[in-house]
Amino acid sequence: MGLEHGMPRGVVDILICTQGIAQRWARSKHGFHSNLSLLVLGAGAVNLGAQTPRRPQGPPGGGPPGGGMRAGPAAGYGTRDPAAIERGKKEYVAACAFCHGTSATGGQGGPDLIRSVLVLHDRGGDQIGPVILNGRPDKGMPKLTMTPAQISDISTFLHERMLEKSNRRTYKIQDVVTGDAKAGQAYFNGAGKCYTCHSPTGDLGGVAKKYDPVTLQSRFLYPRTRTFPGMPNPGPPSKPALVTVTEPSGKALSGALAHLDDFSVSLRDSAGEYHSWRRDLIPGLKVDVKDPLAVHVELLDQYTDRDMHNMLAYLETLK
């Protein structure tokens, strides 16, 4: 047929077999020969295109094709080369830090590179390379002399900084205990009315030993624990809200609140059975919720920043 040259062996076999069948059918069905020939050619072209992989091309900046951080955060983080990151850091600090800051978040006249769309879509230097080599005279950026390998390493370093900024699990929170412990104690026993439910020698005794400052702050501001599958260190479950649902007939059922909104309410009773009602379809349905954590939710609207810092400083003394 003349199209076999360069085709994968499996495609050639299919074409020869299909062509033979089509020719026999065409001889028996006069008038269909040309259409069937076109069909066979089209099928061969589709198969050939599907089985002939494209050869990856390296970026203009000199980095290797595909793979790891060279693909940039926009295409997935992948495996990062620690040696390239370290080299890129040294090159960056020596040539770029004066304007863009040592952490690449902006400096003396230079923009934040961690939030740069250009850096985000860079592939081994293909985007930032021309800027580095040509500069931006209109914005005060001079030309820099660098090799493609140096530019690629800087790209890898910047992508690593992007990863550090975007990965919340590796983010390190600085010291949050900055308040006045005595003022926090006064708030605990006064305006906050915390003493009505808690005791520094009872349920809160030694609480600062159980939790680090960041977790302790989260626990008293948002005490309701919400978990999801695979969640690391979810902590102890919070006390559930209790609800009593009374139907128009007078029948009442109580249990742990599972869900509540304007349209439905559901609970689990003491036996673990799930019950649900449509509030919008049952006129006269009564719902009474007793949430032991409701006061904490109300306090969120009353706390000032100073109150929160002072409260944490006081709780940190309960060891």
Kindly report, residue by residue over 288-301, the tens digit of the pLDDT: 999 888 888 899 99
Mean pLDDT across 98-119: 88
Q: Which of 1-10, 23-32, 186-195 has the highest mean pLDDT?
A: 186-195
- Radius of gyration for the chain, computed over Cα atoms and rounded to the nearest angstrom: 34
Question: What is the number of other CB atoms lying within 10 angstroms of the CB of residue 10?
Answer: 10
Q: What is the pLDDT of residues 271-284, one digit of tens each?
A: 999 999 999 999 99
Closest Cα partner for 155 from 132, 171, 134?
132
**CA 271, CA 256: separation in Å to the nearest integer?**
11
pLDDT value of residue 37: 45
Top pLDDT among 204 and 32 is at: 204
**CA 70, CA 96: separation in Å to the nearest integer?**
20
pLDDT value of residue 31: 43
Lowest mean pLDDT among 137-141, 197-201, 286-290: 137-141
Mean pLDDT across 85-110: 89
CA angle 114, 117, 118 (to 5 degrees): 95
Q: Which are the contacts of 58, defined by CB distance < 8 A and separation ≥ 6?
A: 64, 65, 124
Q: What is the pLDDT of residues 228-246, one digit of tens each?
A: 666 666 666 677 899 999 9
Residue 134 has pLDDT above 70, yes or no: yes
* Residue 70 DSSP SS3: helix
CA angle 146, 151, 155 (to 5 degrees): 155
Closest Cα partner for 254 from 237, 270, 238, 276?
270
Tell me the residue length of the chain.
319
Residue 124 has pLDDT above 90, yes or no: no
CA angle 205, 207, 208 (to 5 degrees): 125
